Amino acid sequence: MTLSSRQLINTALLAFLALLPFFTDWVGDSFYTGLVARILILAIAALSLNLLIGYGGMVSFGHAAFVGVGAYVVGIGTFHAFEDGVDWMMNGYIQLAFALLVSAVVALTIGAISLRTRGVYFIMITMAFSQMLYFSAVGVETYGADDGLSIYSRSDMLGLIDLNDEKSLYYLIFVSLLLVLFLMHRLIGSAFGNVIRGSKSNEARMRAIGFSPYKYRLTAFVIAGTIAGYAGFLMANLNDFVSPDMMHWTRSGDLIIMILLGGMASLFGPLYGALAFLMLEELLSSIPLTIGGLHVGEYWQLIFGPLLILVVLYARNGVDSFLPGARKGS
Amino acid sequence: MNWLLLLEQILNGFQLGLLLFLLAAGLTLVFGIMDMVNLAHGSLYMMGAYFCATFTGWTGSFLIGALLTLPAVFILGVVVEIVALRTLYARDHLDQVMATFGLILFFNEATRLIWGPIGLAIPLPDFLNQTVEIIPGVPYPAFRLAIIITGFLVAGLLYFIVSRTKLGMLIRAGASNRDMIGALGINIRLLFTLVFGLGAALAGLAGLMAGPILSVEIGMGESILILTLVVIVIGGIGSIKGAFIAAILIGLIDTVGRSFLPEILDLILPSQTAATAAPAISSMMIYLLMALVLAIKPQGLFPPKGVGQ
Amino acid sequence: MTEQDLLSVEKLVKRYGGLLATDDLSLSVREGELHAIIGPNGAGKTTLIKQLTGEIPSDSGKITFAGQNLKRLSEPGRSHIGLARSFQITSLFQEFTVLENVCLAVQAHNGHSFRFWKKVNKDKNLTDPALDILRRIGLEQRADTAAANLSHGEQRQLEIAVALATKPKLLLLDEPMAGMSKEDSERLVERLIELKSRHTILLVEHDMDAVFSLADRISVLVYGRAIATGTPDEIRNNDDVRQAYLGEEA
């Protein structure tokens, strides 16, 4: 099997990510392992959202809510295990099962109502639902309201893997990313993926040839929400902390930015986008330039905002359009 | 139940509703005519508040400050339209959402750079900074009353413009059939710029009126933006009438709900549960309303003709 | 409705505000025939097609297809009992290849699509019938070209191929020759003659040469009403038709 230059680049990236903890061991600074782990989790969430936006044309503006739901399951479980001595709520597998189940049920509910609408209405109603979840998290005093919940102990995976070990956690995240990438690859090429892509391309014709897109779209919505819930499970363990801010609509906006920066039309796009997004943040905020006593880096969004507009206007496919073998046009 | 409190809360509801209407009117027109999602509308509201705080500081008078703010925000809106948004009309909603999201980041950061991270206060003149008795024995802040009166006046003026003037005719034609105004040989670019500027000025007006009550701070635009989006989606995108009704509805439900929901919940739930659930439920209420409306009428309460087919 | 009618339309009405787009229209299509509908612009031909497929609801009247009342059947549902349509304004999956376009239509009639894992473009159950149709319609050379990169004439051919892939009992063709060059039209007429031997077809078309050479029967629509139905010869000699329609052309 021969690889195209694009596949080579993708493989090189994955190889780099696989070896990263050893590099940082060697340098003796584990800060970057944590940063990259965060990027990879966000990439998982962005990948799931790209099933909706990039392949399905469903611009969901509330995806961060599912990440929050998954994360809160871990937070709430740990909370009761510590406060009320309910030991089974520490069990990582039970937490994981609930994280997936609850985010799936929430996605089913939100999707069932939202997918009745189109266009701008869909964007707005998904945003509104995510704000509902955000405000309910803000409102619940028991679970820390505004301040969120600290997670005193990471999910207990019963000795199979120790999440307290940063390297083990990193590899769990990395392998999860690989699995999600592979899952997306199969999903997009399947009969189901065909219907999702067809419904984005031409819904009227889909109906005319005998498809009812609604139930397929709803299924995609639930799949994407569940994967995002999984990302939340990982995020809670990485940060040792959950807060309503994870579900704020601007976090959903960040996920869309990642998709846009990476390029919607490609499988790897969201991964590149997540990398680009957080790298840009790191890079811009450390610009060593001082004008009239002001550190430019401190006001990095002053550059990032217009940059985003420029990407939208002139580099529609983001990072993807700079990689070899990019699809022209579209 | 405390009837005087209810009356006060209803007035507060109108006040919030009318503020929301000022924002929603501009946004729904831009949506309806140009098919453009503009998330940065909240930033123009924020700029209205900051401009007014600055001008009031310079001139020492809130009224003069306010009068200077309106043209300033109008001009800012026109500049933003020409520099950044014009090219986006033909793009899909995703592009518009992202580009205007970028604008929000820019405005927030620019504000922090210029005015600093700490919020500002807008001092009110004495005649607004007092209470008046709306009915004997019921004092109500004069400034809030002024907001209500201004809100109704602007709503009336807007109704007049949209239903009785040539500009309004073009706006209505544009909201229901975008191709038609082109066919009429109207300079669409100019019309769009004007409408956008008008919407910006209305947002600025809302911002300068909200400034003295809430605090003038970075990010004030985002929270109200979401409320405004809820309003126009419930009202039906492109419909001024829908925006007005939905804005008042949301204002009332949010304000009255927040103050009376705990009592109502207390009647049906154990008091412990009611006390915990009330704050969460009251901030969720308007979103529940929106979900309900869209579940029944996916195009909002008053879908403009030509869009709803 | 008689035994041999595949489709019968009785007293169909569609109103747009004060405008009657379909006005008490009755019409039937017999099993195996090619029934053409002609009429001046604005006669309500495309509206009728949309009512038949269920894209727009009818205000009143009854549509019976293959012995079944269509009233409660959705647009996808009607496709599943054998109604297929081609679009007047080309409506394809532009970024899909020619083969993928046809495969998607085959897939729609090949059980549910909640299959998440197996690669769909290697599924012989889809590609074999799709290639077969492309061969019949003369597009097999272009199977791997994106629909967006086809010429106008080829897009019109693909338009019909997609409709054919749903294994229809009745093919509704809405101006298949719209915007075609003379040579392309002539070639398409050849294809339609071949199709005619296998399918019942309801053809809406402006190209009179094509209509009169292909049709078994013709109905003339004016302002949402069928003013005449008959063989090409009968229509040619019908006074009402000459006055209402051919007269207008002159």
Domains and CATH numbers, chain C: 1-82+168-250 (3.40.50.300), 91-167 (no CATH)
Domain of A224, in residue numbers: 29-281
pLDDT of residue A171 exceeding 90, the answer is: yes
Nearest to A135 among B104, B112, B280 (CB): B280
Distance (Å) from the C-alpha of residue A219 to the closest C-alpha of chain C?
9
Of all residues in chain A, the one with the smallest CA distance to C52 is A208
Q: Taking residues A290-317, report their average pLDDT.
A: 84
Number of domains chain A contains: 1
pLDDT of amino acid A178: 97
Of B121, B115, B23, nearest in space to B77 by CA: B23
Tell me the chain A residues in contact with residue C103 when contact means C-beta distances shorter than 8 Å. 194
The residue written with tokens 């901030």 in the block is: B283
Asked whether residue B280 is assigned to any structural domain, the reply reads no
Asked whether the beta carbons of residue C107 and residue A330 sit closer than 8 angstroms, the reply is no
Asked whether the beta carbons of residue C55 and residue A207 sit closer than 8 angstroms, the reply is yes
pLDDT of amino acid B305: 59
> What band does B303 get if pLDDT is binned at 50, 70 and 90?
confident
Asked whether the beta carbons of residue C79 and residue A194 sit closer than 8 angstroms, the reply is no
A125/C180 Cα distance (integer angstroms)? 44
pLDDT of amino acid A313: 86
Q: What ipTM is given for this predicted complex?
A: 0.91
Q: Alpha-carbon Rg of chain A, whole angstroms?
A: 20
Question: For residue A3, what is the DSSP state?
Answer: P
Neighbour subunits, A (≥3 Cβ pairs < 8 A): B, C
Q: In this predicted model, which residue has the larger pLDDT, C84 or A315? A: C84
Residue partners of A230: CB distance under 8 A and separation at least 6: A44, A70, A96, A99, A100, A103, A176
Question: Using one digit for the tens of pLDDT, what is the confidence trace for A49-58?
Answer: 999 999 999 9
A57 touches chain C (CB under 8 A): no
> What band does A285 get if pLDDT is binned at 50, 70 and 90?
confident
Of all residues in chain A, the one with the smallest CA distance to B94 is A59
List the 48-77 stretch of A: residues with Cβ below 8 A of B: 53, 59, 61
Q: Taking residues C29-53, report their average pLDDT.
A: 91
B55/B62 Cα distance (integer angstroms)? 8
pLDDT of residue B167 exceeding 60, the answer is: yes
The residue written with tokens 């769909």 in the block is: C120
Tell me the chain C residues in contact with residue A195 when contact means C-beta distances shorter than 8 Å. 104, 107, 113
pLDDT of residue C232 exceeding 60, the answer is: yes
Selected for mutation to probe chain C from A183, A185, A194 (highest C CB count within 10 Å) is A194
Q: In this predicted model, which residue has the larger pLDDT, A285 or C52? A: C52
A202 touches chain C (CB under 8 A): yes
Asked whether residue B90 is assigned to any structural domain, the reply reads yes
Asked whether residue A330 is assigned to any structural domain, the reply reads no
Stretch among A290-304, B47-61, C19-33 having the lowest mean pLDDT = A290-304
Q: Taking residues A121-133, report their average pLDDT.
A: 89
Asked whether the beta carbons of residue A190 and residue C109 sit closer than 8 angstroms, the reply is no
> What band does C178 get if pLDDT is binned at 50, 70 and 90?
confident
Instruction: Number of A to C CB contacts under 8 A, please give it.
Output: 94
Cα dist. B82→A303, A307, B32, B189, C191 in Å?
19, 17, 19, 9, 53
Asked whether the beta carbons of residue A129 and residue B291 sit closer than 8 angstroms, the reply is yes
pLDDT of amino acid C247: 59
Is the backbone of residue B295 left (phi > 0), alpha (psi -120 to 50) or beta? alpha
pLDDT of amino acid B21: 95
Residue C237, burial from CB neighbour count under 10 angstroms (0-12, 13-18, 19+):
exposed
Asked whether the beta carbons of residue A308 and residue B98 sit closer than 8 angstroms, the reply is yes
Of these ranges, A218-232, B264-278, C136-150, the one predicted with the greatest mean pLDDT is A218-232
Asked whether residue A168 is assigned to any structural domain, the reply reads yes
Please list the alpha-helical segments (H only) found in chain C. Answer: 45-53, 75-80, 98-108, 124-137, 152-164, 182-196, 208-214, 232-236, 239-241, 247-249
A189 touches chain C (CB under 8 A): yes
pLDDT of residue B306 exceeding 70, the answer is: no
pLDDT of residue A85 exceeding 90, the answer is: no
pLDDT of residue B192 exceeding 80, the answer is: yes
pLDDT of amino acid C248: 52
Instruction: Give me the DSSP letters along B287-298.
Output: HHHHHHHHHH-T
Q: Are B142 and B130 in contact, with CB atoms under 8 Å apart?
A: yes
Residue partners of C243: CB distance under 8 A and separation at least 6: none
Tell me the chain C residues in contact with residue A192 when contact means C-beta distances shorter than 8 Å. 113-116
pLDDT of residue B184 exceeding 70, the answer is: no
Asked whether residue A24 is assigned to any structural domain, the reply reads no
Q: What rounded mean pLDDT belongs to chain B?
A: 86
Nearest to A140 among B229, B276, B287 (CB): B276
pLDDT of residue A328 exceeding 60, the answer is: no
Phi, psi of B135 (to 5 degrees): -130, 155
Distance (Å) from the C-alpha of residue A116 to the closest C-alpha of chain B?
7
Asked whether the beta carbons of residue A190 and residue C118 sit closer than 8 angstroms, the reply is yes
Tell me the chain A residues in contact with residue C92 when contact means C-beta distances shorter than 8 Å. 202, 205
Of these ranges, A222-231, B142-151, B259-268, B283-292, the one predicted with the greatest mean pLDDT is A222-231
Domain of B54, in residue numbers: 13-218
> What band does A2 get if pLDDT is binned at 50, 70 and 90?
low
Asked whether residue A239 is assigned to any structural domain, the reply reads yes
Q: Taking residues B19-36, report their average pLDDT.
A: 88
A303/A280 Cα distance (integer angstroms)? 10
Distance (Å) from the C-alpha of residue C199 to the closest C-alpha of chain A?
17
Asked whether the beta carbons of residue B110 and residue A302 sit closer than 8 angstroms, the reply is yes
Question: Using one digit for the tens of pLDDT, what is the confidence trace for B68-119?
Answer: 999 999 999 999 999 988 888 888 888 999 999 999 999 999 999 999 888 8
Q: Are B56 and B211 in contact, with CB atoms under 8 Å apart?
A: no
Q: What rounded mean pLDDT belongs to chain C?
A: 90
Instruction: For residue B152, give the 3-state DSSP assignment.
Output: helix
Asked whether residue A325 is assigned to any structural domain, the reply reads no
Selected for mutation to probe chain C from A201, A205, A226 (highest C CB count within 10 Å) is A205
A205 touches chain C (CB under 8 A): yes
Asked whether the beta carbons of residue A120 and residue B103 sit closer than 8 angstroms, the reply is no
pLDDT of residue B127 exceeding 80, the answer is: yes
pLDDT of amino acid A327: 52
Looking up residue A73, the CATH number of its domain turns out to be 1.10.3470
Nearest to A132 among B101, B104, B287 (CB): B287
Q: Taking residues A278-307, report their average pLDDT.
A: 84
> What band does B152 get if pLDDT is binned at 50, 70 and 90?
very high
pLDDT of residue C242 exceeding 90, the answer is: no
Instruction: For residue B173, give the 3-state DSSP assignment.
Output: helix
Residue A31, burial from CB neighbour count under 10 angstroms (0-12, 13-18, 19+):
exposed
Q: Taking residues A178-197, report their average pLDDT.
A: 96
Asked whether the beta carbons of residue A201 and residue C107 sit closer than 8 angstroms, the reply is no
Number of domains chain B contains: 1
pLDDT of amino acid B89: 86
Question: Using one digit for the tens of pLDDT, what is the confidence trace for B257-297?
Answer: 888 887 787 777 777 777 777 777 777 888 888 888 888 88
Neighbour subunits, C (≥3 Cβ pairs < 8 A): A
Cα dist. A234→A44, A101, A238, C33 in Å?
10, 15, 6, 64
Question: Using one digit for the tens of pLDDT, what is the confidence trace for B61-82?
Answer: 999 999 999 999 999 999 999 9
A142 touches chain C (CB under 8 A): no
pLDDT of residue A330 exceeding 50, the answer is: no
> What band does B161 get if pLDDT is binned at 50, 70 and 90?
confident
Asked whether the beta carbons of residue B102 and residue A309 sit closer than 8 angstroms, the reply is yes
Asked whether the beta carbons of residue A116 and residue B295 sit closer than 8 angstroms, the reply is yes
pLDDT of amino acid C76: 95
pTM given for the model: 0.90
Instruction: Give me the DSSP letters along A33-65.
Output: HHHHHHHHHHHHHHHHHHIIIIIT----S-THH
% of chain A beyond a pLDDT of 90: 56
pLDDT of amino acid B179: 65
Selected for mutation to probe chain B from A131, A133, A277, A296 (highest B CB count within 10 Å) is A131
